[in-house]
Amino acid sequence: MATNTSSTWQGWAKFAVAVAVLIALPHVLYPVFLAKVLCFALFAAAFNLLLGYAGLLSFGHAAFFGFAAYVSAHTAKEWGFTPELAIIAGTLVAAVLGVLMGLLAIRRQGIYFAMVTLALAQMVFFICVQAPFTHGEDGIQGVPRGYFLGLFSLESNFAIYYFVLAVFLIGVIIIHRTVHSPFGQVLKSIRENEPRAISLGYDADRYKLLAFILSATLAGMAGSTKVLVFKLASLTDVAWQMSGEVVLMTMLGGVGTMLGPIVGASIIVTMQNYLAEIGQLTLIIQGLVFVFCVLLFRRGIVGEIKHWWTRLRGGKDEPAHLGPSGSTGLSDGDAEAAHAQERAS
Amino acid sequence: MIEFLGVPLPLFMGQLLIGLINGSFYAVLSLGLALIFGLLNIVNFAHGALYMVGAFVAYLLLQYIGVGYWPALILAPIIVAGFGMVIERFLLRPLHDLDHLYGLLLTFGLALVLEGSFRHFYGVSGLPYSIPDSLSGAQRLMLPSWITGGDPAFMMALPNYRAWVIVASLIICTATYILIERTKLGALMRAATENPDLVRAFGVNVPMLITLTYGLGVGLAAFAGVLAAPIYSVNPIMGSHIIIVVFAIVVIGGLGSIGGAIISGFMLGVIEGITKVFYPEASNVVIFVVMAIVLIVRPAGLFGKGA
């Protein structure tokens, strides 16, 4: 890792520009739409923490997103929690759920991991269908946006947008710090070659579990925040389709990149907004985008741009970021070639 | 009225029957998944959607060209198997050398496309498909006097069609088992599962074998779909719920063995049915709970050879 000051400054400058743009954006576009994009972007970024950096494909992230949404809605509406407390409550419950599901799911790997997470999430879905506090098909409606710290009203669309932006930035900074920490490096090494990481003395299961919990917690934070934007928590948030959507957002934007999930979420949310009138076509188009991404566009948008950029500058390509799980994301032959290339350079 | 474990016997037997019927579908579907997993190493997420397509093909055959239930039971699986082989040849084969998660993601996309298309044209309310005349009616099953010790007691009403579903799925499961374990073709498939390169070296067209296997697995799903059509109405969303349950069953049983897939399918169907009698609120989640317990006690699955 290069830690020279100029690149750090460049990073901060880019970050400052991005934040400035996000602050100015609601004056151009509808704030509620933007807040929705930010919630899903945080959700996808949390999911990508697990898929992109730990190589674990979870098909059950809707459970964290949706269940946290119910908790946040219930505490805000029935118990009169302030918005930040409601979000903290939802996030904490998602963390607990993450511990429970994670302990079970990491006992299996690869496709079994995906199936186990999907099945456990479906169990959460049925619990939400039957539990009285979720109000079944109606969901929890009319959740008040409330007063931030009990003082500042979030009723106006601008206020809620800036509140969501703050939550989003906290989430993204946590993810960025995690990925660029020693912990993140170990995660990547487990993704690349688990037996080797274990032989070096790392407790791979513990690292994977921690990554799972962190990802679940942040997904819960996104879900809790979404409730305050739409004043609604419903079964849609916990349904398996939601788990599929977040996979799609991440794939389309670029697995294992910081910006990818954010770009992917923006595109999918925009698409849903414009396609809402034509009903079932959304499902078909999402399916087709899935097929297209898997067959021809495995790097995703951001991944593809990075790929061309490094090629243009004659830099070393980064083949490791192609697939859901680095070493296995490539064919064995490619992985061998990549290692040979690394050794040569 | 005779009681069994504190519930009326007809109620218990009725739920047991529903459990066996659901178990039949679970068994046929997880059998197909296990077959496909063996040779392609992917979990076919589109399996539920193709089960739904099987039911729809039977419906459309009847609606537009007047083909009845019995021919449809043969024709629909063949049509869907052909469709599946096209999918394998043109969409899944390019992914064969990549991570197997890509296969899962691709078939997930296909499932969305299939479900979305049928929802677009037929809505979600479900279309009726009537029971064939030859299987209408029901049998009154009585408990014989040597058990009750007095007069024969009413045990349950067994609709003929439901009995047929159980028999048909037992037949198809046994036939597939014999095909895999006892025939030359099955031996080749098992060999290709173990070591495709070696089988290829013997001059066997392994890619063709893979395509056929996918077709067979998908055909089984469509067969289950036709069987299900008269029981549940033909509905675009019938596949998406059942596939998640079947995934849980596959995690419980392990994808390693054909017999294991069949046994765990029936077993969990029955467990689900019995739960409905004693604790109805939990019937939707009981299979997932069993899965969680199996993961704790025996992570590789009941019949699995390891994760």
Nearest by CB to B43, which of A115, A330, A333? A115
User: Which uninterrupted H or E stretch holds B138?
Assistant: strand B138-143
The whole-angstrom separation of Cα A89 and Cα A101 is: 18
At residue B61, does pLDDT exceed 90? Answer: yes
Instruction: Report the alpha-carbon distance of residue B71 to residue B59 in Å, rounded.
Output: 12
| DSSP symbols for B55-71 | HHHHHHHHHHH---HHH
Ramachandran sector of residue B22 (left: φ over 0; alpha: ψ -120 to 50; beta: rest): alpha
Q: Do B95 and A294 touch (CB under 8 A)?
A: yes
Among A47, A88, A318, A320, smallest CA distance to A221 is for: A88
Q: Which of A109, A123, A281 lies nearest to residue B288, judging by beta carbons?
A: A123
**CA of B152 to nearest chain A CA: how many angstroms apart?**
40
B-interface mutation test, from A99, A249, A291, A328, most B Cβ less than 10 A away = A291
Contact B240 A109 (CB under 8 A): no
Give every CB contact of residue A122 below 8 A, 6+ residues apart in sequence.
A60, A240, B244, B245, B248, B288
Q: What is residue A319's DSSP assignment?
A: G
pLDDT of residue A329: 38
Instruction: Say if residue A145's pLDDT is above 90.
Output: no
Measured in angstroms, the CA of A297 and the nearest CA of chain B are apart by 12
**Alpha carbon distance A38, A228 (integer Å):** 13
d(CA A40, CA A316): 32
Distance from CA of B200 to the nearest CA of A (A): 19
Maximum mean pLDDT: which of A303-312, B138-147, B167-176, B292-301:
B167-176
Contact B295 A110 (CB under 8 A): no
Residues 6 or more apart in contact with residue A75 via CB below 8 angstroms:
A81, A85, A86, A89, A90
Q: Identify the band that residue B139 occupies on the pLDDT scale cut at 50, 70 and 90.
A: confident
Count of other CB atoms within 10 angstroms of residue B74: 11
pLDDT above 90 as % of chain B: 49
Q: What angle do CA B134, B135, B137 make, to 5 degrees?
A: 110
- Interchain pair B251, A116: CB under 8 A: yes
pLDDT at A32 over 80: yes
Cβ distance of A330 and B99 shorter than 8 Å: yes
Q: What are phi and psi of B126, to 5 degrees?
A: 95, 140
Q: Pick left, alpha or beta for residue A211 (phi over 0 → left; psi -120 to 50 → alpha; otherwise beta).
A: alpha
Mean pLDDT of B51-64: 94
Mutual angle of helices B206-228 and B69-87, in 10-degree steps: 140
**B139: closest CA of chain A, how far (Å):** 35
* Shortest Cα–Cα distance, B236 to chain A (Å): 11
Q: Given a cut of 90, is residue A213 above it in pLDDT?
A: yes
Tokens 């083909």 belong to which residue? B67
Query: Can you tell me the mean pLDDT for A223-247?
Result: 92
Cβ(B242)–Cβ(B4) below 8 Å? no
Interface residues of chain B, partner chain A, Cβ below 8 Å = 42-43, 91, 94-95, 97-102, 104-106, 108-117, 119-120, 240, 244-245, 247-248, 250-251, 281, 284-285, 288-289, 291-292, 295-296, 299, 307
pLDDT at residue B59, rounded to an integer: 94
Nearest CA in chain A to B119: A280
B1, two tokens: 């009225």
Q: Which residues of A296-334 are buried (b: 16+ CB within 10 A; e: fewer)?
A: eebbbbbbebbbeeeeeeeeeeebbbbbbbbbbbbeeeb
Cβ–Cβ of A331/B98 closer than 8 Å?
A: yes
* Chain A partners within 8 Å of B90 (Cβ): none
Q: A235, A285, A290, A331: best mutation site toward chain B, by most B Cβ within 10 Å?
A: A290
CA distance, residue A55 to nearest chain B CA (Å): 10
Rounded distance between C-alpha atoms, residue A304 and residue B89, angstroms: 27
Q: Which residue has the higher pLDDT, B253 or A209?
A: A209
Q: What is the pLDDT of residues B219-271, one digit of tens each?
A: 999 999 999 999 988 999 899 889 999 999 988 887 778 888 899 999 999 99
pLDDT class for A6, splitting at 50, 70, 90?
low
Helix, strand, or coil (residue B112): helix
Please report the pLDDT score of residue B132 as a whole number: 86
Phi, psi of A33 (to 5 degrees): -60, -45
Q: Is B101's CB within 8 Å of A115's CB?
A: no
Flag whether pLDDT at A264 surpasses 90. Answer: yes
How much of chain B exceeds pLDDT 70, in percent? Answer: 98
Task: Decide if pLDDT at B40 tops 80.
Answer: yes
Alpha carbon separation from B183 to A4, B179, B270 (Å, rounded): 67, 5, 31
Across the interface, of B110, B250, B289, the residue whose CB is closest to A287 is B110
Residues with Cβ within 8 Å of residue B25, at least 6 apart in sequence: B51, B169, B224, B227, B228, B242, B265, B269
Among left, alpha and beta (phi > 0; psi -120 to 50; other), residue A2 is beta
Question: In chain A, what residues touch B248 (CB-CB under 8 Å)?
Answer: 115, 119, 122
Judging contacts by C-beta atoms under 8 Å, the chain A residues touching residue B105 are 57, 247, 251, 290, 293-294
Question: Does the pLDDT of residue B77 top 80, yes or no?
Answer: yes
For residue A286, the chain B residues in CB contact (below 8 A) are 109, 112, 116
> Which residue, chain included where needed, has tokens 């009154």?
B140
CA distance A39 to chain B (A): 24
**Do the Cβ atoms of B112 and A115 come within 8 Å?**
no
A59-78 pLDDT tens trace: 999 999 999 999 999 999 98
A279 with B120: Cβ contact below 8 A: yes
Q: Are A249 and A261 in contact (CB under 8 A)?
A: yes
Instruction: Residue A167: name the closest of A232, A243, A244, A90 by CA.
Output: A90
Distance, in angstroms, between B121 CA and closest chain A CA? 9
Structure tokens at A161: 């947008």
Tell which wins on pLDDT, B303 or B51: B51
Please enumerate in sequence order all residues whose Cβ is within 8 A of that of A12, keeping only pairs 6 or more positions apart, or say none: none
Instruction: List CB contacts (< 8 A) between B292 and chain A.
Output: 104, 120, 123
Banded pLDDT at A139 (limits 50, 70, 90):
confident
Contact in structure between B48 and B239 (CB atoms under 8 Å): yes
* B164-205 pLDDT, tens digit each: 999 999 999 999 999 988 999 999 988 888 888 899 898 889
Single out the residue of A233, A302, A236 nearest to residue A264, CA to CA.
A302
Find, among B23, B21, B86, the residue nearest to B53 by Cα. Answer: B86
Q: A288 and B101: CB-CB below 8 Å? A: no
DSSP alpha helices (H): ranges in chain A? Answer: 5-24, 31-54, 61-77, 83-105, 110-130, 157-179, 182-192, 194-199, 204-230, 240-253, 260-275, 281-296, 300-312, 326-329, 332-344
- The pLDDT-based confidence of A337 (bands split at 50, 70, 90) is very low
Q: Among A41-45, A324-328, B16-20, name the one with the lowest average pLDDT.
A: A324-328
Q: Do the Cβ atoms of A291 and B110 come within 8 Å?
A: yes
Task: Give the closest of A57, A115, A295 to B247, CB-based.
Answer: A115
- Percent with pLDDT over 70 in chain A: 88
Q: What is the pLDDT of residue A37?
A: 94
Beta carbon pairs, A and B, within 8 Å: 144
Contact assignment for A323 to B116 by CB distance below 8 Å: no
Answer whether B105 sits within 8 Å of A298, measured CB to CB. no
Q: Which carries the bigger pLDDT value, residue B301 or residue B62? A: B62
**pLDDT value for A328:** 38
pLDDT tens track for A302-330 = 988 888 888 888 766 554 434 444 333 33
Please report residues of B whose CB lies closer than 8 A to that of A130: 281, 284
By three-state DSSP, how is residue B257 classified?
coil
